[in-house]
Structure 1
Amino acid sequence: MKRYASLAAGLLLLVVGSTARAEDAKPFITNKDVDLTMILPPPPANDSAETKAELGEVLTMQVTRTPEMEARAIADAEENVWRFADVMGPNFNKDKLPKFSAFFDRVVETEGAVVDPAKDVWKRPRPHQLSDLVKPVVKLSSSGSWPSGHATVGTMMGIILSDMVPERRAEIMARAAEFGHNRIVGGIHYPSDVEMGKISGSVIAAVLLNRDDFKAEYDVARAELRSDLGM
């Protein structure tokens, strides 16, 4: 019986491990730890000169963006660290980095846990919700626009990833900036949403990097990544 019990336990662990998904990841912190409504200013009013000017910027982007830019924005709608593969090299692969992957799943979940409550407080309408002239090329969203969650998580991932691989900091942070900017290219965010996302991501990353529970998982993920990259 003991032999079968051990076998059953092993199979259970195998099934649980193989079916684990990113949505099962737990955030490191929530808005109880970082309250963005106490850090960021409120968004400009819908009828303000600033919002009207930004709407003009979104519309200008709409008529100047190229098919290649649109394709890049559509691809960057996916919120995960693997969007940095183009600057990390061919060995930057989810299948090769299970611990690193699980770690960054938690980083992504942390963004939502901190940013979404703030979005719900401010409820800034997206550009396409204020003007029928705006035609986003990415998936539509009705959540609050301020701050941009994509810009937030892109900045978080960029800071943490470049801390793991400082040899590529310039390329990683440039990619993080592009990740946020592509929300403007995609027509789903105002420029100021993205700027507030960069601030939010920087604040959250700074808090995470000073937490013992975060650093314990960070060290494991960093070691796996650098080994895989031959560093």
Structure 2
Amino acid sequence: MTTKRSLHLALAGSLLLAGAAAAQPVTKATDPHFDFAPGFLAQSALPDSLNLLPPPPSPNTAALARDEEARASTLPLRKTARWNQARLDADLMFPQPAKNFSCAMGIPIDEKNTPNVYQLMQKLLTDAGLSTYGAKNHYNRTRPFVVHAEATCTPDQEGILRGDGSYPSGHTAAGWAWALTLVEINPSRTDQLLQRAREFGQSRVICNAHWQSDVDNGKEMGAVTFARLHADEAFRNKIAAAKVEVENAQRAGLKPAGDCSVEAAAISLK
């Protein structure tokens, strides 16, 4: 089965899942990064994570043991280049998210060269991030750095994180929605973009800000939100405009501004 066919099947499944969900009630994002700029959809039109996701792992279960094992496996990465990359991935203030996906995209994502791609990412951050708040606010799961009385890779954000439910991961939801959208715009970079989204989510475990199950279910919300957005005309029009500017950037031979070998080396650390 081709990669394109696989993505279409995944999208179809996500559309069915999104269609089965009730409209999400309007809730307040306790992390302001997820409500910084208007998304494509009213929050009430987004899929509801509380309806779609199972509860987070309970105490004394195999699922929670898996979360603890995943956290423990990242301990050797603290204070390494991978920890530093996790810190960059944690930064949701633009232009950093655009920089984080430029190497995987193979071209610069910025306001000058690819403004439609840049604006798509900004809007998707809000849509995907807010889609997680039904479950976030309901379960209000305590984050791993609080449970273990440890630090994260972003000490300046710990005050916000302490009051923001851990489950599911809003960062991961945004990262996966970004990657699926960028794949649609630039399918020649499918593998690179999906791999980058996976590592973007894993950065949250490495950063000690999320449990593995938070990340796994954040990925699901990113995919469902991406599916829901295809019913929105403004989103579809933006995709079409973004495809044109990506083709123009490729013809012009534009390359990401950062050193992609540094990012690749950091992400390769396990």
Q: Same fold per TM (> 0.5)?
A: yes
Decide which of 128, 136, 143 is 1:111's aligned counterpart.
128
Q: Which runs of 5+ in 2 are unaligned?
A: 1-34, 253-270
Amino acid at match of 1:98: P
Partner of 1:57: 70
Partner of 2:55: 42
CA RMSD, aligned part only?
2.2
Q: Which runs of 5+ in 1 are unaligned?
A: 1-21
Decide which of 196, 209, 227 is 1:206's aligned counterpart.
227
Superposed displacement of residue 137, structure 1: 1.7
Alignment of 1:178-217 (within 5 A): 178-217=199-238
Give the secondary-structure state (helix, strand or coil) at the position aligned to 1:202.
Answer: helix
Cα gap change, 1:112/1:198 in structure 2, threshold over 3 Å: closer, same or farther? closer
Decide which of 152, 157, 181 is 1:136's aligned counterpart.
152
Amino acid at match of 1:112: G
Distance in 2 separating the partners of 1:194 and 1:55: 13
Superposed displacement of residue 192, structure 1: 0.8
> Does the CA contact (< 8 Å) of 1:151 and 1:180 recur in 2?
yes
Cα gap change, 1:27/1:117 in structure 2, threshold over 3 Å: closer, same or farther? farther
| Cα offsets for 1:68-112 (capped at 9, x unmatched) | 111110011123333111222354333222232222211111123
Of 29-38 and 141-150, more deviation after overlay is shown by 29-38
Partner of 1:81: 98
> Does the CA contact (< 8 Å) of 2:132 and 2:168 recur in 1?
yes
Superposed displacement of residue 65, structure 1: 4.3
Identity of aligned residues (%): 24
Bigger Rg, structure 1 or 2: 1
Cα gap change, 1:135/1:36 in structure 2, threshold over 3 Å: closer, same or farther? same
Partner of 2:185: 164
Superposed displacement of residue 207, structure 1: 1.2
